[in-house]
Each structure stands twice: as C-alpha cells, then as structure tokens.
Amino acid sequence: MKVQKQSNDTPIEQSFIATCATPQKADYRPLKVALLDINERLENRLRYFFSDRCQGDYVVDVDPQSADICLIDLDGLRGKSYWAKHAEHQHNCPAILLSLHKTEVENAKWLQKPLQANLLHSELEKIREKLHLQQRQATPASLPNSSAETEVALSGHHQELRRKIKSLQAVLKKEEIRRAQLNVCRQGDNPPLLSEPADVPTRQISVGNQEIKTAVPFIGSTPDVDLDNETQRAWVQYDPKKFLIGRVQKAIKLAETSGRPVSISSSHGSITIVPMTREVLVEIDGQRLQSLASQPVNDDEYQLSVQDSVCDIPGQTHRRPVEAFVWELTLWTSLGRIPVNVSPNNTVIFKHWPNLTRLQIFPQATRIAALWAKQTHTLASTAQALEIPQRYVFSFFSAAHAIGLATTEEAISEEIASEENPVKSNSNRTLFRKILRQLSLH
C-alpha cells in the first residue's frame, strides 16, 4: 500500500502523526467515559476496546460528574433511573444508551446490544468532534474573526485525517495476528471483541509507558532475571497453596465433589463457590480482594465449610463466573511469577484458545496466546520470541494454568507416571484385603 506524499516528500502519515495524532496538543486528551449499570463482563470488554481498538483515546472514569461521556445500560436494574437523572440536567455530558430493544430518546444515542465495535467507535468519535467544536467556540480564538471558520474547518479536516491514519495503521498491523490466529479461529474458540471479528490491532513489540501502567495491577513490575541462576529463578516463582487462590481452588474441588456450595469464611468477608451455576459469590470489595490475593495467608485465616444453600444479598454480594474469578485472582497473586512446581524451561502445552471477552485481559496476552496456538515454546523462549518482559508470559501462563487452559509437557509426563504406579499398589492392597477377609472367616 503506497503512502500519499506531500510536496516536500514527507509521508502524510509521518508528518501528521508528528503534529496532530499524538496527544501533545493542549486541546487534545483522552475522553473520560462513565459506565453506569454496566456489568463487570461488559466493563472488561469495554476497557480492552478503549485501550486496543481506540488506542487510548477513551478511558473509564468511575465518577459520572467528571466524565465526558456516559454509557448507560437501560437493561440493568438501575439503568433507567440513571438515565432519568441524567436527562434532568441539560448541561450533563453526552450519553450513549445501550439496550436490547429499540429506544427512542432525545439528546442521546441508542445502540442495540450486542454492541457492534464499528458503531460504538463511530459514535464516540462523533461525540469527540462535537465536544472539540464546542471547546473551540467557547474559547476566545487567537485568530481574527474572519479566520474562525477556517480554523474550525481545518480542525475537522485534521480529525478526519487522524481517523484515516488510525485505520491505515490497523490494516497494516492486523494481518500478523490474523494469520497467527487462523488455525484457532477455524475452531470457533476465539470470540471477537464486541461483535467485530479480527479487527483488534496487535500490540507493538516494544512495551510503552502507558502499556506498563495498564498492566502493573495484573503482572506486577518484576524485572527480567537470569533464569539459569537458581537464586534469581526463585524470585519469579510462588506457591499458590500459600495464598488465597490456593484456598479458592481447594473450595472449588470440594464443591464439585460434594455437589453443594462451599463457603470460604474470614474476617474480611466470605467467598462462596456455587457448583450448580459455576459461579462465585463474593462479599469482599474488589480493591480489598486484590490486596488480599497478593498476601500469604495464615493457616487459620480462611475456613472452608459445605453449605446447604447460598445467601445472595443484593448490593453486598457480587456474582462472578468461576473461571473469570480464578483467572483474575491468579493474576493478582502471581504478579509476573509462575507456580513453584513449574520451570521457565518447561515446554508449554496450550489446550485451546481462551474466551478473552470473558477474562481480564492485559497487554501482550493475545500475542502470547497466538504464539502458543501456532508454535511450541518454553516459557523462557516465549518472552524471547515476542521480545517482551518475562513477567507478561509468566502471568499469562499462571492464569491459564489455574483454569486448565495450559500445562507443560513435563507435568503431563509426571501425571502419566503417577497413574501407572497406583495401579500396582491398588492391586496389592486389594489382594491383602482378600487375605484378611479370609482370615477373619476362620
């Protein structure tokens, strides 16, 4: 694809990015988006959408009062009341309403669920242009009055060029990830982001400051170590049994075996595993839970008990799918490390492509999954092949391993060996019991 050039032989893409596409202008900044009555699953997908497809042009804001745009789910329990309050004030920020059913409203845009990525991105860009124009009109222009209309026209032209350049960059980048995912996509195990297939641009090989800031809560900040040095290798390993995730995994096994809910009680709150619906009821605040996940636990800090029923208290209990909960809790625990029984030189076996729209995604995760789906690698060689820090690979493996998506060739060999030994011991034990039974008859 040829790049159109200006008269001075400077590619339009390079010249415009240098002056307009990067957020160096005083009137350009990421727009803050408030998510009202949006469930956690959709929120995670939107955060990923804003950071990848929108390239950081939009960020989630927890305070609707300071947000530039509001996304309101009318199908939620409080969605309609949120919209009613928002509509009462004429000077509130623009709103996009989400619903399964067509909704005619004034002063807001309705988008039908499931969301289409192209439509959402288009509406966000329209709102950005509108806000930009309002800011221009509200700010005293430094140009003479006769040039004001020209300035607005140029601004609109720059916005259009900026969109075209982003589209061009996405086209140039997406082919790599499309090819890497080809075999996996044929199996249907890789759901698209929102409703747009294969259009999420791959991450750059170099890890930027913004990407690091986004990833720190999930992969930590541990620097690369010499994996041949036993002491340094121990720095990037952890024992899941000594953390909250170990108690959760034990409770899940107990719940699946008994077929009844299992509660993990503590002074911090309770976590209940519901095997019938494959859900987790959490009574601990999200930030508190993240802090607890990274701290080693005492033997008597968490108590497991089988329950006859579950108590779901609206407003206090948060429901999460078991898989998504274990994945996120493992990320908070591992922070760029791998389980103590796994070596960085172990060969990874990637069982199938994860449903990334249901899991807490972080930078580089898609590239790691695509590589493992296509080629055989060790954990160490994965970081080298993708030219990324080790902690990205270690975090992804730890989370995937915790929910059964990934293992190692060495672990499978050990399982096969351990399964062969009990056969002999069980047969000996059975014979011994028969002898005892015969002796007791005489």
pLDDT tens-place string over residues 387-402: 999 999 999 999 999 9
Specify burial of residue 312 (Cβ count, 10 A radius: 0-12, 13-18, 19+): middle
Mean pLDDT of 225-232: 88
pLDDT at 21 over 60: no
- Tell me, what's the pLDDT at 294? 87
Among the listed ranges 302-306, 316-320, 373-377, which one has the minimum average pLDDT value?
316-320
State the amino acid at position 384 in one-letter form.
Answer: Q
The pLDDT value recorded for residue 193 is: 39
pLDDT category of residue 157 using cuts at 50, 70 and 90: low
Q: What pLDDT is stored for residue 99 in this prediction?
A: 87
Q: Which residues contact 104 (CB under 8 A, 6 or more apart)?
A: 110
In sequence order, what are the residues at sequence separation of 6 or more whose Cβ sits closer than 8 angstroms to the Cβ of residue 441? none
| Residue 148 confidence class, pLDDT cut points 50, 70, 90 | low
Helices (H), 181-285: 182-186, 209-219, 230-235, 244-258
Averaged pLDDT, 251-256: 92
Looking from the CA of 429 toward its CB, the CA atoms found within 13 Å total: 6
Q: Which domains does the chain have, with CATH numbers?
A: 12-171 (3.40.50.2300), 203-236+336-442 (no CATH), 238-335 (no CATH)
Per DSSP, the three-state class of 110 is strand
Does an H or E element contain 111, and which? Answer: strand 109-112
Angstrom distance (rounded) from CA 104 to CA 110: 7
Bridge partner list, 73: 98
Instruction: Evaluate the omega torsion of the peptide bond into residue 191 and state whether it is cis, within 30 degrees of 0.
Output: no
Which position has the higher pLDDT, 135 or 258?
A: 258
Question: Could you tell me whether strands 58-60 and 31-36 are parallel, antiparallel, or unpaired per DSSP bridges?
Answer: parallel
Least confident span in 70-79, 149-158, 282-291, 433-442: 433-442
> Which residue has better confidence, 121 or 419?
121
Dig out the tokens for 210 from the structure: 């913004």
Q: What is the mean pLDDT of the chain?
A: 75
Q: Classify each residue of 128-138 as buried b or exposed e, where b means 16 or more C-beta atoms within 10 Å of its C-beta.
A: beeebeeeeee
Phi then psi for 88, rounded to 5 degrees?
A: -65, -30
Distance CA(401)–CA(240), nearest Å, equals 11
Residue with the bigger pLDDT between 429 and 110: it is 110
Contact between residue 260 and residue 278 where contact means Cβ atoms under 8 Å apart: no
pLDDT digits (tens, 9 = 90+) for 353-368: 877 777 877 788 889 9
> Which tops the pLDDT comparison, 157 or 111?
111
Q: What are phi and psi of 192, to 5 degrees?
A: -75, 160
DSSP structural state of residue 108: S
Amino acid at residue number 31: L
Looking at residue 139, its pLDDT comes to 59
CA distance 182 to 373: 10
Residue 420 has pLDDT above 70, yes or no: no
The CA dihedral of 12, 14, 20, 22, to the nearest 10 degrees, is 150
Q: Which residue has the tokens 């809790």?
A: 329
Mean pLDDT calculated for residue range 52-62: 81
More confident residue, 344 or 428: 344
The residue count of the chain comes to 442
| pLDDT value at 191 more than 60 | no
Three-state secondary-structure class, residue 292: helix
